[in-house]
Structure 1
């Protein structure tokens, strides 16, 4: 797994989402960020993204845990592409444990102050091409 500083940023955001603290992850997003909620549906801006996280948690009956698998970070100037496995542990309608694994893509931009902010959050990765 990557030792890049973005690993810690993503882990912190995922811990907050798992704890249903949907305000804290907004610190990791740019004001104009876009979250792919599901194929064909995006949320843009921190307010919409925060509402989307609440809806996503409700969709999974507030029983989800987000964690990371393998990660690669590719930097170019003040931009970074993160390619990683995102794992969502949840429970299916019958009550069985389920792990949903996606190959996610994220784009981060570094501010003048040196802070990485997510501008595109796409947990579906290239599977969006199949939609």
Structure 2
């Protein structure tokens, strides 16, 4: 029996594509493990399993705050108040964010892309706010 070279190559490419996509982190649901209001950062546990192992906790993910003007009034800063167990949506930045957190244009120290070390908590899912 002959092996189809095109079929074998297709299988190799599909495996390679699956590996690349499994290492690419974009957006996912997490549970808050701990929230540091002073640093506005959270330790979060991804809730979707992509391997047979439980996903590792992401430590120190930055959490978005908001500056809003309500009814044309003076802008107010609203910082998040996350509780242990809250279900949040997290995204991973395209590049490393550490050197830009002070608001200055900066080069990344690493070549990381879509890495969980550059996770940002966007907010709590509305369905989770009832408690």
TM-score (norm 1): 0.31
Structure number with the higher helix fraction is 1
Structure number with the higher strand fraction is 1
Larger radius of gyration: 2
